Homo-oligomer: A and B are copies of this chain.
């Protein structure tokens, strides 16, 4: 599966949004949020999306399935700053029998700050690839 590098900047293209507030610990000496701190924002939004879909990640893990991260990409457009309230929009953009791709749009007060994509593989607790859960194979895909 090819990593998509153009997730849309229109929030209407996304089915879900999760809000995070920037911690001081996430800033760096440039006075902005450090680039590595975005990946936990995407992860928190992803976990929130799973919960909203009725399939919390804790349950999935209890069932013996993990979603390992195969690729991650972020494009930093405008800096995030301490105490910013960030809307992280999420949508599923592509899928194979054992992997899926999520796109993300990060906005502060309706201003586009970043886009990102993560690619995940369903794996057993032993780390072997396995099929996506049934509910996930039926989600409507966003167009990117």
The yes or no answer to A137 lying at the interface (CB within 8 A) is no
The yes or no answer to A25 lying at the interface (CB within 8 A) is yes
* Total residues of chain A contacting the partner, CB 8 A: 39
What number of copies of this chain does the assembly contain? 4
The yes or no answer to A74 lying at the interface (CB within 8 A) is yes
The yes or no answer to A27 lying at the interface (CB within 8 A) is yes
The yes or no answer to A70 lying at the interface (CB within 8 A) is yes
- Interface pair A73/B71, CB less than 8 Å apart: yes
- Interface pair B29/A27, CB less than 8 Å apart: yes
Please give 8 more A-B residue pairs, beta carbons under 8 A apart, in addition to A30-B68, A36-B36: A21-B44, A23-B47, A28-B29, A29-B29, A39-B39, A57-B83, A72-B74, A73-B73
